[in-house]
Chains A and B, each alone.
Chain A
Amino acid sequence: MTAAIDAGAAGGGRPAASRDWSSFARRGPDGLLGIDLAVEGIHCAACMGTIERGLAGLPDIAGVRVNLTQRRVRVAWRGGDAAAAACDGDAVVDALARLGYRAHPFDPGRADIADGAEMRMLMKCLAVAGFAAMNVMLLSVSVWSGNVTDITPETRDLFHWVSAAIALPAAAYAGRPFFLSAFRALKARRLNMDVPISLGVTLALVLSLVQTQRSAEHAYFDSAVMLLFFLLLGRVLEAAMRRRTRATAENLAALRSASATRIDADGRVREVPLSAVAIGDRILVGPGERVPLDGIVAAGRSAVDQSLVTGETAPAPVGPGTAVHAGTLNGEGALTVEVRAAAGETLLDRVNALLDGAMAARSRSVVIADRVGRAYAPVVHLAALSTFLGWMAFGASWETALVVAITVLIITCPCALALAVPAVQVVASGALFRAGVLLNAGDALERIATVDTVVFDKTGTLTLPEPRIANRDAVPVELVAAAAGLAAASRHPLAAAIAAAVPEAALPTDLVETRGKGVAATIGGVPALLGSPAFVGATGEAAAVAAAHPLASLVAVRLGDRPPAVIAIDQALRPDAFAVVAELKARGLAVAILSGDRPAPVAAAAAALGIADFAAGVDPAEKIARIEALKAAGHRVLMVGDGLNDAPALAAANASLSPASAVTLAQSAADAVFLGERLAPVVAALDIGRRARRIMIENLGFALAYNLLAVPLAIAGLATPLVAALAMSSSSLVVTVNALRARSTWSAAGAAGPNRAATRGAGDGPRPLDAVARLSEVRS
């Protein structure tokens, strides 16, 4: 039932704005226009059947398809484009609400990112490489066994030619991802792991072709395609990991309803996706809604809570001519906002400029794999060169010397080296996903692992993103329930906090809202009041509560002729904030607070959490300066923040985390986003990251050790294709298994301490979206 009330309350916030469904429509793979919806609460196969059957009966619908993995529904419209453009998605959303699911349309400007074109390309390459590897290996094994028994040279040549006919086109097709990446790296005068890979594969194929022509005993076609197959496997796993987290992130964006209420030139008010709003358009921001885009207030007066932007918790008054920022929460007055591009001296410009600089600084940090690749490639190429010169010096023909030198290159082709890191990243990101952390970048793990200082933002990070009732125990239960019922009908921002306290409260009747003062109504035949202490007549009680909660906002409630009660509402700390700070300290990390809020609340939070190092009233540039100072002093900094003002600091820090409630800019600047109300994922990310880094280094060590064993054989001219195949597959297997072994240890570690709470907070399985669903229920 709450879902229905919430939906009603949210709808009530928007003054009769119908959604402009045609701008949400997107062409699907079937060629039909349709809409994509992120749906909360899809858990199981039964939900899938219920939704598909329930929607199939509606008119104008050609097909309904639930994607259980991504928790999305696609509805395709019947008829041509013209008919589809006129179709009404409200019927679909209403039908889903009747079935018990809340649905949010995707902004088509963003949704097609996760279409998975890259993934499909890699899978095709993998399939081709797999086909080639299996068949060439079949022929190669015959040649190997024939070479030690009685194969005739003619049969061997035939086998080699057939291998060539399979391997050459397959490598040309399946090797593209590596060839292109190596080419790009060389063009930028850099070396990455793909350079030795491409070189090794190409040389192996050319050498084998020449050897085949000369009817030689050995050809390396199998090494080349097997190498490609193993490497593509790593890339596919990596792409699958990125796609999963991105799909979840897009669902999050849809749940946060990335849409705006646009006032068209003809005066019509339509709800459209953000990508459909142009600069200069006028948008309507209702009471209690978040401002969707930056702009200038054209009409209306209100107070805006800028805590997501500046960290400041006290609302700032706005009127015509004032700039408002995306992500800020509108107070009790409706605003008409003219959308502006980020131009001039707005906060967003300054933040963007700072962000660019900070991002450039981060891209200079080199991931382990590339660092090893950079050192590895020259060593290998030098070894091959000296092998060639050495054999020449000992009187071998230049052909023999060249064959041996190329064998060295093939043997050292960094197959296990290239798998060593992605395999761990995939397993670790899976573990993080279950702990409620979505990774933005694969290399973030390495950076998170090495931090020694954690800097928190206060508002929305250490504290919950929405205010809470602070003195619930001091207020009689029936008065809290009455207040919740009255608040559910009000649009005041503070009302949401009260309404969330008792979601099942009875709704009042005869409601009259006095703007800026409060609401009066009847509950069960008894008159009830909720509003400012003066409006309710509880100024005396308010003084006592204000003394106990100096930073809280006060709301009074009265039911019948009983004495009124005063409810204090403030930004509560996240439930496990204290435990997490203690855990971090126990791991030997320094903890600090950098907040844009006033000194008093920051000092209070720091005292409650036992953090000695804190700074209040810090602006974005100063946040960067302080983080740079920490870095200059030799510290490696993890920044945790949610606001627009934190975004540059998030990018400047060595590693960064952002809660799911953060502004979009902060989320994209952060290395990872964590879900739920708890802070525990921060500790989980740190633990998993450290472990992952250890295993990555272990794996790189294994891979290099294999090469150290195989290279002397190759230099001595003893490495046959069989030796190459054995070295390659066994080293790849070892690093992959080592990466998997880590997974079981992580879940064991996850069963103790705050990680466990994190896992529970994110649902029992890999369902972070449900945690978000719960979160958004609390908030709306």
Chain B
Amino acid sequence: MTVLLVLIPVALGLGGLGLIAFLWSLRTKQYDDLEGAAWRVLSDDDLPGTPPEPAEAERQRPG
């Protein structure tokens, strides 16, 4: 059963990586705007040379 001496640290290390990743995402405030984050992933604003969306024309609604 000496394999346990390897497996337990490996399991703990992987779990610890997950924990660190979660704490990092918390520290960088990724949970502050869950609704917005869901949409941001779809937007191409970060790509260079993307033409502006035609949304400007659509959104004359409020008022």
Contact = CB atoms under 8 A, between A and B. Distances in A.
Contacts of B36: 45, 48, 66-69
B48 to A, nearest CB: 14
A705 interface: no
Contacts of A3: 62-63
Contacts of B59: 46-47, 50, 100
B6 interface: no
Interface in B17-63: 18-19, 22-23, 26, 29, 31-36, 39-40, 42-43, 45, 52-53, 55-56, 58-63
Interface in A16-44: 29, 40-41, 44
Contact of B62 (A41, A53, A68, A127): A41
Contacts, number: 82
B19 A46 contact: no
A134 interface: yes
A131 B18 contact: yes
A475 B12 CA distance: 79
Contacts of A162: 8, 12
A2 interface: yes
Highest count of chain B CB atoms <10 Å: which of A29, A48, A152: A48
A751 B60 CA distance: 32
Nearest to A777: B63
A241 to B, nearest CB: 14
A128 B42 CA distance: 31
A68 B43 contact: no
Which 5 residue pairs spanning A and B have beta carbons closest together?
A45-B39, A68-B36, A41-B62, A46-B55, A69-B35
B63 A50 contact: no
B29 A29 contact: yes
A8 interface: no
A235 to B, nearest CB: 15
Contact of A128 (B19, B33, B35): B19
Contacts of B45: 49, 52-53
Given A2-B63, A3-B63, A100-B63, A46 B58 contact: yes
Interface residues of A, number: 39
Contact of A131 (B8, B19, B35, B56): B19
A100 B62 contact: yes
Contacts of B62: 3, 40-41, 100-101
A53 B61 CA distance: 18
Nearest to A29: B29
15 contacts: A46-B59, A48-B36, A48-B39, A49-B43, A49-B53, A66-B33, A68-B36, A69-B33, A69-B36, A70-B33, A101-B62, A124-B23, A135-B11, A155-B4, A158-B4
Contacts of A166: 12
Nearest to B29: A29
B33 A127 contact: no
A48 B42 CA distance: 12
Interface residues of B, number: 34
A4 B63 CA distance: 8
Contacts of A158: 4
Nearest to A67: B33
A51 to B, nearest CB: 10
Contacts of B22: 127
A158 B60 CA distance: 68
Highest count of chain A CB atoms <10 Å: which of B11, B16, B18, B33: B33
Nearest to B8: A162
A116 interface: yes
Contacts of B63: 1-4, 100
B26 A123 contact: yes
A50 B15 contact: no
Given A48-B39, A155-B4, A127 B19 contact: yes
A52 B61 CA distance: 18
A138 interface: yes
A27 B32 CA distance: 17
A190 interface: no
Given A46-B55, A100-B63, A131-B18, A124 B26 contact: yes
Given A49-B45, A50-B56, A127-B26, 18 more contacts: A46-B58, A46-B59, A47-B59, A48-B40, A68-B36, A69-B32, A69-B33, A100-B59, A101-B62, A116-B32, A120-B26, A123-B31, A124-B23, A131-B15, A131-B16, A152-B1, A155-B1, A162-B12
Contacts of A138: 11
Nearest to B43: A49
A192 to B, nearest CB: 28
Nearest to A119: B31
Contacts of B55: 46, 49-50
B58 to A, nearest CB: 7
A1 B61 CA distance: 10
A513 B41 CA distance: 54
Nearest to B34: A69
Contacts of B40: 45, 48
Contacts of B29: 29
B44 to A, nearest CB: 10
